[in-house]
Amino acid sequence: MKTIVFAFAAVFAIVNAACNRVDVNVANGAEFQQAIGTAQPGWNIILAKGEYSVWKEFEMRSDGTADCPIIITCQNPGDAVLVSPLYLFGADHVRVSNIVSSAPNFELSFELEEVTDVVIENIRVTNCQEDGFFFEESKDVTIRNCTFDNIAGYAIVFDDMHQSTIEHCVFGDKIGYYDGDCAIWVRSGSSSNKIYDNSFATSSSDISSWISIGYECEQCTGNEIARNVFRSPDGRTMKDGIQCMSGNNNIFKENNMVFNATGYGFHVMESKQIICASNKVEGCQFTDGTIDQSC
């Protein structure tokens, strides 16, 4: 493995079809933007400890490959803080891990658009003026082992997302406290996504539900929400646990909800969903839909 400390003139000959890994060390916002702007398959872009900012957002359009993704990471998890948003546009086969995403002066903290095969892992998303992750028109995206707290809007927006996963994440304190009515908002035809094994323990916020499949989501189908744990530690009363305003044949199974609500654990409205008997709901009515005893 080669290591370079930002001398780009000699870098391009190092990476080849055999996917030799190359460490690219960066120490400030300008170096990070240059690295992601010119990255090649096989690069490990390693952020040093500190805060990273540019005048607008960090923009990446470089592709890795399936066998040789581009990696963005920090040697010591949490040492590097992005205070400008990270924007991946058409940047396929990318891995991002071990950083803090905090953009208090911007609408979004992290945005993906038109990407395939991206993994976001072990990221803390905090101190967001509006939304945390806004991901759209993409597929095969994995969000894993991330933590969300102190977010004024939505923690995650899935807009026209497909075959993607949110798993083993923690949705903690103060989400949607100013401009967001749920932690995860699924919308615009998102299909065949999985939301698995996450923990929702939001307190002191104004969200009305933890997960919402929106009104404009008529084509949202085949999404699976399973084995999540929902708690309201401060005893706050919410409207619903999960709201399904449209879409059909989304499946909800083995979720565990303990909270007070004026509505339902699973509020399906006029939509047609698969609400399994394996879900457990305490503190409110189970559902206004049909309970499927087979799952």
C-alpha span between 113 and 158 (Å, rounded): 11
Residue 260: pLDDT band (50, 70, 90) is confident
The pTM for the full model equals: 0.92
Helix (H, G, I), strand (E, B) or coil at 61: coil
247 contacts 276 by C-beta, under 8 angstroms:
no
Mean pLDDT over each residue of the chain, to the nearest integer: 91
Residue 254: pLDDT band (50, 70, 90) is very high
Residue 204: the pLDDT is: 56
Q: Give the largest Cα separation in the chain, rounded.
A: 64
Checking 6-9 for CB contacts under 8 A at 24+ apart, the result is 6/31, 6/34, 6/35, 8/34, 8/38
Q: What is the mean pLDDT of residues 89-105?
A: 95
- Residue of 45 and 2 predicted with greater confidence: 45
Closest CA to 159 of 110, 223, 217: 217
- Class for domain 102-295, per CATH? mainly beta
Closest CA to 197 of 223, 168, 156: 168
| pLDDT exceeds 70 at position 7 | no
Six token digits for residue 109: 């903290």
Six token digits for residue 58: 């960090």
The domains of the chain are located at 1-93, 102-295
